[in-house]
Amino acid sequence: MSHWEIASLFAAACLAGAVNSVAGGGTILTFPALIAFGMPSIQANATSTLGLLVGMAGSLFGYRAHLPAARPWLRAFAPVSVVGGLLGAWLLTRTSSQFFDRLVPVLILFATVLFLANDPIRRLAGFEAAHRSSAATWTGIALQFGVSVYGGYFGAGIGILMLATMGLLGLRHIHEMNAIKTILGALINVVAAACFVFAGLVAWPQAVVMTAGATIGYFSGSHFSQKIPQQSVRHLVVAIGLSLSALFFYREFF
């Protein structure tokens, strides 16, 4: 790798880690960066997944104060996250990504609108924060499984999808939601990365550079986002989601 490639991938991963720690969608920065230096798309996807994985420890450390509140939800969502992530990664190694690439902007836009409107939708569905009904829990598990399959397959925007799901279930504290999202995202990416490594899809030099950058970005994003009012973080989540959706629509259809 040239010095320019190392610097570019490090910077892209650092920014991606910060974005992922707040809302998700960092893959839209690392994936094109790898492609820009000539890497095939499927290998770029696999390398990006591994490069952003280790850095999640920095985000988890930043949200450590909110982990006790996250534990009950993790017991429900962790198993389906592992199974879904493994299934999605297996599908990537076996099928063409063309159809799913065209579906990505629609999914991200839907998730962003869902996150923006989760209060009225939650009230209409009867999912209140103080009441974890069986229907709400099973709905959340089903949605998380779908998000996990998508996350194992490609992954851009899974943070926003998970935040939208948690909003429907009545969770309101954005930093607790981000702690849950970070752990579940790590589980999805661990099994996906293992599958990609086994399939020989990872470019290791680039993955190491991106790991270093992402670790700094994850910790910085999780640390400084908690010093901003929660409503401002919510606005940032929506802004990131709409921006990602516009970028994907432009890339795929224009």
Q: Does 127 score more than 70 pLDDT?
A: no
Q: Region 236-248: what's the mean pLDDT?
A: 83
Q: What is the mean pLDDT of residues 148-161?
A: 85
Counting Cβ atoms within 10 Å, is residue 236 exposed (0-12), middle (13-18) or buried (19+)? middle
**Could you tell me the pTM of the whole model?**
0.78
Say what the pLDDT of residue 23 is. Answer: 64
**51 vs 233: which has the higher pLDDT:** 51
Q: Average pLDDT of 57-74?
A: 76
Choose the weakest-confidence range: 16-30, 32-46, 114-128, 228-242.
Answer: 114-128
Identify the band that residue 89 occupies on the pLDDT scale cut at 50, 70 and 90.
very high
pLDDT value at position 18?
83
Mean pLDDT over 28-51 rounds to 89
Of residues 173 and 78, more confidence is placed in: 78
Residue 66 pLDDT > 90: no
The per-residue pLDDT for 76 is 85
Q: How confident is the model at residue 130 (pLDDT cuts 50, 70, 90)?
A: very low
pLDDT tier, 124 (very low <50, low <70, confident <90, very high otherwise): low
Contacts of residue 179, defined as CB under 8 A and 6 or more positions apart, other chains included, come to: 60, 63, 66, 67, 69, 70
- The answer on pLDDT for 128 being more than 60 is no
Least Cα distance to 24 among 181, 172, 231 occurs for 181
- Domain ranges across the chain: 3-253
Q: pLDDT tens, 184-214?
A: 988 999 999 999 999 999 999 999 999 999 9
Phi then psi dihedrals of residue 17, to 5 deg: -65, -40
